[in-house]
Amino acid sequence: MDVSERDRPADHTAVADDAAYGTAVLPTSPPLSRRRWMSNILLIILVVDVALVLVSEFGLGTHLLGRSSLSTVTPVLGVLILMSLAQGVVIGTGGIDLSIPATITLVGTITLKASDGKNGGLAEAIVTVLVACVVIGIVNGLLVEVFGLNALVVTLATGQLIGGITRLYRGPVPSVSNVPPALDDFSSKNFGGVSLILILAVAFVLVLYVVLNLTTAGRKLVASSASVRAASLAGLAAKRYRIAAWVLATVVCGLGALLLAGQIGSPDLTLGDPYLLATVVAVVLGGAVLSGGRVSPVGIALGAIFIAVLNQDLQVRGYSTGVAQIAQGLVLGLGLAFLGYLRVRRTGRLFSRKK
Amino acid sequence: MNDIDEVRRRVARTNRRRLAGTVAGAAAIALVLGACSSSGSGGGGGSATKAAGSSAAGDGGSADGATVQKMVDKAFLTHVEVSSLPAVVQKAFQVAAGTQTQAQLDTALKCWQAATCDTGTGGTTTLGIADGFGDNTWRKISKMEIILQALQYKKIGKITYTNAHGDLSQMNANIRSLTAQGVKAIVTYDDFGSAVLPAYSAAQRAGAKVSAFVGGIPNAPTSAVSNQVHEDICTAGKEMATTATKLLGGKGQVAFFNGTPGNPQGATWNTCAETQFKSGGGGVDVAYKADTNWTPAGTFKAASGLVSTGKPIKAILYDYADPLPQVVKAYEQAGKVTPALITFTSNNDLFGVWEKAQGTSKAFDLYYTSGLNYQARVSVTAVMELLDGKSVPAQSIVPMPFVKATKGIYAPSLPGTYPGSSVLIPTSLLTKMLS
């Protein structure tokens, strides 16, 4: 989503003026300066990623590029990219989705229960997962976009709700603890050490990039996500598109969780726990602003790579998960500060305009 | 209590020897049994089992010595003399081995499914269960062990269960709630260590007795927790190190996997295992340590990190069996053979992946211990003994022997999270729980 109303006052005015005259014009390609700015961000994170991989490989003794390492790191990375994309779509609307961990855990439980651990039940499980994710997305979207509630509070609440439902649905002693073998096999596949999950995640990044940037529906979604007011003035059903963004995000999260469940094999009630802070950090590293607007799928993927490699380095060096959390917190803080610094340099403003 | 039991055991031994002496054809057998009793071990524990059986069980249950010994062996997965256990543990097994009617089993299931239940005995004592995180199969099984043990006591008329879902403030609130309800017997699995001690102290000041099972709460005064049932973590760490040293032939690299960062259990067994390695000549090197948070995802990442180090690890020592299938998965994905796994507790999924690997190029060694759920039963007996005014030591330390995996340990009809054959719940009831 390369459209940011607040960073593009000229566009905003143009859209509003066009709407006022009844000739709504959709935001088209962004101004060169902002595109260049985003390109610079992507270039920076790409360089940082490459540097980190090289330091890991040759300086820290993390044999990342070996086949055996790749085969265990890339599935984790693939899942993180998908979850971060889900978070990124929501952050693009100016919201945040704290219910992602609970949704992941619910999907893991559905995968077990609906399939009964058998290949024959896998299709039913996938359909149930998709239905559940659509419902969660609609509920979150309606509460935030229609009722105007704060996304943070709403998703915190729905996360609790989903968590409670998951526990009840799972039951006291789950009779099945392993996902269907077909899903396990599928999620464990790799090509030259590169996990199929990562390949699918990268493919999804590209599809999302194309859809958001090169299709009418995608541009409408981007416009509505970036600024509900500007999009409404442009004649778009902005809220509907924004709700669609929530649904899209939750479905992406659900598909990622399905693959995660397959990769873990025996999903439990902690399945989603690692995907709260990490997804936000990946999105921020990808050049997004937490208040919404500018989000790049490619940037998110690069951000996720940084987080995954950093975590692997910390793991190999024997640092505790506490250190990993501190590192992620620091990266989040520094990333936000760096983006803020770049914005000040570009616009001369410390704070962005209100919508 | 200990002295009384000892007297009873001696009387039982004497009676058996007299009986043996009157039957000429059984003289040899009597001699063998007599020898067993004097040695205190081996021979299936014949004398010890009789001794245990001769002492009175709980106010609801009683069993002969052989049944008690069989139950002890099942709980520990290997032969452990009943007489070698602390008195309260012996008592708990005597109570647990007592007969239970179908009506009691039905009540147990009803209680297990509810937060509060009436046991139907008309007893005036309420047993409170304070679980820090009662959401996994191990805890659910432990809950049933507690209920079955409680149903052997006619004095217990009501059982109230609370679950903090891993939330410290909820745990404190639950303890306070039990205290306010006048619960006098509290058994707890404490996930929060000393952070809950003030709540336990308040409960005991109100007249309750608190017993904690598994793991132990470091530095807990008896004013807060009257009794703790737990294994000796340091000894267990040393046993793991000894097992690894033998397995590696005294030389090689091993990895330690721990749970949450800085947890006292991990710190204890890590230190003791390292000390044991050093005392064994220092040929075994701890080349990698990682936290797993005791979760599948955390364990996979730890194993992934271990693979990325490229170190030739020969054994992984861990204090929780449930997430270990993730290690096997990571190694299989990496195209490597899984190192030997030496772990506290046991898990059916782990048994499944171990059995699947046997006879293939991916075969690996597995050493494990009892699921430890029986300790929950000991806690019930401890609080009931305390409420009866009997003396129970602050620490009831039980052995935790490691056993090597053998074919047939995997139970395909049971859930993967099932903690193995050390569970003492009758099969018929277990089937209903899992249905």
Tens of pLDDT along A251-295? Answer: 999 999 999 999 999 898 889 998 998 899 899 888 887 776 778
Cβ–Cβ below 8 Å for B262 and A312: no
The domain in which residue A136 lies consists of 70-343
Other beta carbons within 10 Å of B343: 24
Measured CA to CA, the distance from residue B419 to residue B72 in angstroms comes to 16
Between helices A67-91 and A196-214, what is the axis angle to 10°? 30
Chain A interface includes B31 (CB < 8 A): no
Q: Is residue A21 part of a domain?
A: no
What phi and psi, each to the nearest 5 degrees, are found at residue B338? -65, 135
Residue B281 predicted with pLDDT over 70: yes
Do the Cβ atoms of A206 and A289 come closer than 8 Å? no
Nearest-angstrom CA–CA distance, B324 and B318? 8
User: Does B106 touch chain A if contact means CB atoms closer than 8 Å?
Assistant: no
Q: For strands B116-118 and B125-131, give the pairing.
A: unpaired
Which residues face A191 on adjacent strands? A194
Helices A216-226, A238-264: axis angle to 10 degrees equals: 100
The whole-number pLDDT of residue A34 equals: 62
More confident residue, B242 or B17: B242
Query: Which two tokens mark A133?
Result: 């994710």
Give per-residue pLDDT as tens, B388-424. Answer: 999 999 999 999 999 999 999 999 888 888 999 999 9
Structurally, how many domains does chain A consist of?
Answer: 1
- B435: chain A residues, CB-CB within 8 Å: 175
Query: CA triplet B333, B335, B341: central angle to 5 degrees?
Result: 80
Q: Specify whether the CB–CB gap between A335 and A310 falls below 8 A.
A: no
- pLDDT of residue B326 exceeding 70: yes
**3-class secondary structure, B127:** strand
Distance of residue B366 Cα from the nearest chain A Cα, in angstroms: 20
Listing DSSP states for A287-328 in one string gives: T--TTSS---HHHHHHHHHHHHHHHHHHHHTT--HHHHHHHH
- Tokens coding B224: 């807060």
Nearest-neighbour CA in chain B from A182: distance (Å): 15
pTM: predicted TM-score of the whole model, two decimal places:
0.78
Amino acid at B201: S
The answer to whether position A7 is within a domain reads: no
Order of strands, edge to edge, in the sheet holding B209-213? B116-118, B156-163, B125-131, B185-189, B209-213, B227-231, B395-398
Residue A222: which of A43, A25, A5 has the closest Cα?
Answer: A5
What tens digit of pLDDT does each residue of A7-26 get? 443 344 333 333 333 334 44
Residues in B closer than 8 angstroms to A175, CB to CB, are 415, 434-435
pLDDT over 50 at B125, yes or no: yes
Answer whether B157's CB lies under 8 Å from B118's CB.
Answer: yes
Quick one: pLDDT band at residue B17, thresholds 50, 70, 90? very low
| Residue of A72, A187, A328 to mutate when probing chain B, most B C-beta within 10 A | A72
Assess if residue A33 is contained within a domain.
no
Helix (H) or strand (E) holding A253: helix A238-264
How sure is the predictor about B46, in pLDDT bands with cuts at 50, 70 and 90? very low
DSSP helix/strand/coil, A71: helix
Give the model's confidence band at A347: pLDDT under 50 very low, under 70 low, under 90 confident, else very high. Answer: low
Which is more confident, B76 or A346?
A: B76
Chain B 377-416, residues with CB within 8 Å of chain A CB atoms = 415-416
Query: What pLDDT score was predicted for residue A124?
Result: 95
Largest CA distance in chain A: 63
pLDDT of residue A196: 96
Task: Return the residue of B nearest to A57 by Cα.
Answer: B308
| C-alpha–C-alpha distance, residues A143 and A90, integer Å | 14
In a domain, A54, yes or no: no
pLDDT for B42 beyond 50: no
Query: Which residue of B lies nearest to A322 if distances are taken between CA atoms?
Result: B261
Percent of chain A with pLDDT over 90: 47
Q: Which residue has the tokens 């995180």?
A: B133
For residue A348, what pLDDT band results from cuts at 50, 70 and 90?
low
Choice among A34-48, B120-134, B173-187, B291-305 with the minimum mean pLDDT: A34-48
Give the nearest partner residue to B334 out of A72, A178, A318, using CB atoms: A72
Spatial separation of the C-alpha atoms in residues B289 and B254, rounded to whole Å: 9
Q: What pLDDT, on the 0 to 100 scale, is given for residue B59?
A: 57
Classify residue B314 by its DSSP letter.
E
Tens digit of each residue's pLDDT (9 = 90 or more) over A92-114: 888 999 999 999 999 999 999 99
Residue B16 has pLDDT above 60, yes or no: no
Helix H segments across B99-160? 102-113, 137-150
In a domain, A112, yes or no: yes
CATH number at residue A324: 1.10.3470
pLDDT tens by residue, A202-247 = 999 999 999 888 899 888 888 888 778 888 888 888 889 899 999 9
- Helix (H/G/I), strand (E/B), else coil: B318: strand
For residues B46 and B127, give the distance between their C-alpha atoms in angstroms, rounded to a whole number. Answer: 35
Q: CA quadruple B14, B19, B22, B23: dihedral positive or negative? A: negative
pLDDT at residue B49, as a whole number? 32
Which residues of chain B neighbour A196 with C-beta distances below 8 Å? none
Least confident span in A35-44, A113-122, B191-200, B252-261: A35-44
The residues, ordered by sequence, that sit 6+ positions from B283 with a Cβ below 8 Å of its Cβ are: B245, B248, B250, B251, B252
B298/A320 Cβ within 8 A:
no
Identify the pLDDT of residue A144.
94
What proportions of chain B, in percent to the nearest 5, are helix, strand and coil? 50, 15, 35
Given an 8 Å threshold on Cβ–Cβ distance, is A316 in contact with B326? no
Q: Is the pLDDT of residue B6 over 80?
A: no
- Between B97 and B38, where is the model more confident? B97
pLDDT band at residue B155 using 50, 70 and 90 as cut-offs: very high
pLDDT at residue B175, rounded to an integer: 97
* Mean pLDDT of chain A, nearest integer: 84
Residue A116: φ, ψ to 5°: 60, 25
Report if residue A354 sits inside a domain.
no
Residue A277 lies in a domain: yes
Rounded-to-integer distance, Cα A112 and Cα A105, Å: 11
The answer to whether B200 and B185 are in contact (CB under 8 A) is no
Q: What would the DSSP string read from start to end of B144-201?
A: HHHHHHHTT-TTEEEEEEEE-TT-HHHHHHHHHHHHHTT--EEEEE-SSGGGGHHHHH
| Res B369 pLDDT > 90 | yes
A68 to chain B: which residues are within 8 Å by CB? 307-308, 334-336
Predicted-complex ipTM score: 0.78
Cβ neighbours of B433 in A, within 8 Å: 172-173
Cβ contact, residue pair A63, B293, below 8 Å: no
* Alpha-carbon span B73 to B119, nearest angstrom: 29
User: What pLDDT digit, counting tens, does each position of A305-333 carry?
Assistant: 999 998 888 888 878 777 777 887 888 78
Check pLDDT > 60 for residue B48. no
A72/B295 CB distance under 8 A: no
How far is it, in rounded angstroms, from Cα B18 to Cα B27?
10
Dihedral class, residue A247 (left if φ above 0, else alpha if ψ from -120 to 50, else beta):
alpha
Per-residue pLDDT reduced to its tens digit, B57-116: 445 556 788 999 999 999 999 999 999 999 999 999 999 999 889 999 999 999 999 999
- What one-character DSSP code corresponds to residue A30? P
- Distance between CA atoms of residues B369 and A42, nearest Å: 51
Q: For residue A22, what are the contacts with CB-CB under 8 A and spacing of at least 6?
A: none
* B:228-267 residues touching chain A, CB 8 A cutoff: 260-262
Mean predicted confidence (pLDDT) in A124-141: 97
Distance between CA atoms of residues B357 and B188, nearest Å = 38
For residue A65, tell me if it sits in a domain.
Answer: no
DSSP H or E segment with residue B284: strand B284-291
Please state the length of chain B: 435
CA B274, B278, B284, B288: dihedral to nearest 10 degrees? 30
User: Average pLDDT of B337-355?
Assistant: 95
Tally of CA atoms within 13 A in the half-sphere of B169 that contains its CB: 0
Angle at B430 between CA B409 and CA A169, to 5 degrees: 105
Q: Is B230 helix (H, G, I), strand (E, B) or coil?
A: strand
Which token pair is A194? 């590169």
- Alpha helix locations (H) across A116-195? 122-141, 151-170, 181-188
Secondary element (H or E) of residue B254? strand B252-258
pLDDT at A349: 59
